[in-house]
Chain A
């Protein structure tokens, strides 16, 4: 009223009646303690669906921070709780951001322990702060819900570590106990409403609403940036230089051409692959014709693939699939090539990308994963096979992009001594494209999800031994 004009004066003087809302609503205590209780509720449970495991703890942690921030100047336990809540906000931010990167698994135990410790200390500081507030009013509360909350939290931690699946009955009991504790905590806080009038709300440098807006939006931006950054696999392509083949390589090249190895695919073979084909005794080439297969397109543009099986004369074959992408297909995010045909022993996978950028052709080798998986066949029962996968991205602006995906096959069923030895192999190679990098938490593209495109190379290879023991098409 010190520097008020007539209008302010009029407003103040016309307020003779008591405001309709309860006077308790204006004390800082109620809002702050409600925030703390809500925060503890949201951070103690994890609901693993619809991203609630990330959203609810984030809201809860921010509420804890804001609640303790308002009360931090009232006693040292509130101040301690405020420090713990800052730690919790920092840990939450680190966890949320790391989840958007391939480094989500670094120090998982330490991070979990720190989170649990921070939550436990928050319960402890709340208990001590409430006791101190009650003491200042000359009261001794009959309830000690914060103590029960601490015990409950220890039980939850124990269950999580020692008995992860205790059954619905135990979880039901845990939930009931939690609801009762929270109700009791709310009542205990309400009993201290009178103390709330003596509370001095700490001044703030940033408004609660702005703090929430800034934190949530900055986390969202960082998470999106991480998703975009890690959604593209950086591969260092090196320009292909024209060099003269060694005499051995030149001889292998000539022999492969004689056996029917397609010339256009031969140009994509790096020297190390040529070396492996030195003992080649037969080739079978199978192009995939887009006229015959409906799924030979990607992103609405043509996608072509062709396969060549090179028999190496020792019961094994080297199998090559060359995928050629149309320039209009966007391949900046993750792509996946995968051998899907089952019941075949395969190993020594390799993947080579070539592309043109700035008028120069580049080649890069993609790391390949070989993973043993147990599969179930309706007719033959369970069996094990190695799944070979390669994940790659092409740089922005790259043209004439191809992926040469290779593995060795064991033609195990072929009895090479039999005069009518016969081998057939139905070969499927899947080429996936991820349309979007937005996947939270981060996970390597596995060809699943709604944002994928799939183009499939599928061909039937057939060999029959000739008299010389060489498979003939």
Chain B
């Protein structure tokens, strides 16, 4: 079933369309969630959250901005990341307010500048390093998963990630620690 067929089905019968969407893109959602949440039950809980988020946000999907799979990836990744943060807060006994204090306007500007710098630095990376970066910092995959999927040993992946991190730290003007 093509994305256009899926979207048409979702607009005509949302429940039926949602079932078809989860059938088609379930493996993708599980893959993205599995990178962030390595515990099986947590990942299953998160999949339910993602399903709910999709149900709620489906109207905000704009096909002109990107493919359906890209949008689903972004929703799954961000939901999984929030889920992980919530688990982390629970483990460290911190409140949501403590963990995510809102940025001041100056901090927001700095953060945007930093994001632009990072984008430029990533653009300068080779294809393999770029993939390594996205796997580590976007998909939040474990080193073991990255190594296996990229046909490397864990040790080699760790070494390459270390060098990549050092390079980015230098390019972004951070300390060399």
A binding-site residues for B, Cβ under 8 Å? 1, 7-8, 10-12, 14-19, 21-28, 31, 66, 69-70, 137-138, 194-198, 200-210
Q: A10, A21, A201, A206: which contacts B134 (Cβ < 8 A)? A: A21
Closest partner residue, chain B, to A137 (CB atom): B27
Which B residues lie within 8 Å of A205 (CB)? 153
Interface residues on B, range: 35 or more
Given contacts A14-B114, A22-B70, A26-B139, contact A204 B147 (CB under 8 A): yes
Does the CB pair B111–A14 fall under 8 Å?
yes
Q: B31, B78, B165: which contacts A198 (Cβ < 8 A)? A: B31
Q: B23, B81, B118, B152: which contacts A11 (Cβ < 8 A)? A: B118
Does the CB pair B148–A12 fall under 8 Å?
no
Q: B23, B73, B156: which contacts A210 (Cβ < 8 A)? A: B156
Which A residues lie within 8 Å of B27 (CB)? 137, 194-198
Which secondary structure dominates where chain B touches chain A?
Answer: helix
Closest partner residue, chain B, to A211 (CB atom): B151
Q: Can you list 24 A-B contacts (CB < 8 A)?
A: A1-B36, A7-B165, A11-B137, A14-B115, A14-B118, A18-B71, A22-B70, A24-B69, A26-B139, A26-B149, A27-B31, A27-B149, A66-B151, A70-B148, A137-B27, A194-B25, A194-B27, A197-B30, A201-B148, A201-B151, A204-B152, A204-B153, A207-B152, A207-B153
Which B residues lie within 8 Å of A10 (CB)? 114
Which A residues lie within 8 Å of B168 (CB)? 11
Interface flag for B11 (CB, 8 Å): no
Give complex CA distance A200, B145 in Å: 9
Closest partner residue, chain B, to A198 (CB atom): B27
- CB-contacts of B124-177 with A (<8 A): 130-131, 134-135, 137-140, 144-145, 147-149, 151-154, 156, 165, 168-169, 174
B binding-site residues for A, Cβ under 8 Å? 23-25, 27-28, 30-32, 36, 66-67, 69-71, 73-74, 78, 81, 84, 111, 114-115, 118, 130-131, 134-135, 137-140, 144-145, 147-149, 151-154, 156, 165, 168-169, 174
Does the CB pair A18–B73 fall under 8 Å?
yes
Which B residues lie within 8 Å of A198 (CB)? 27, 30-31
Does the CB pair B31–A207 fall under 8 Å?
no
Which A residues lie within 8 Å of B73 (CB)? 18, 23
Give complex CA distance A333, B69 in Å: 64
Give complex CA distance A12, B73 in Å: 15
Given contacts A18-B66, A23-B73, A198-B30, contact A203 B154 (CB under 8 A): yes
Give complex CA distance A11, B31 in Å: 21
Q: How far is the CB of A205 from chain B (nearest CB, A)?
A: 6
Does the CB pair A23–B28 fall under 8 Å?
yes
Give complex CA distance A209, B160 in Å: 13
Does the CB pair B149–A208 fall under 8 Å?
no
Given contacts A194-B25, A198-B30, contact A203 B148 (CB under 8 A): yes
Q: A18-B71, A196-B27, A204-B152 are in contact. List 15 more A-B contacts (CB 8 A).
A: A8-B165, A14-B118, A15-B138, A17-B74, A19-B138, A22-B69, A26-B139, A27-B149, A28-B149, A70-B149, A197-B31, A200-B148, A203-B148, A206-B153, A210-B156
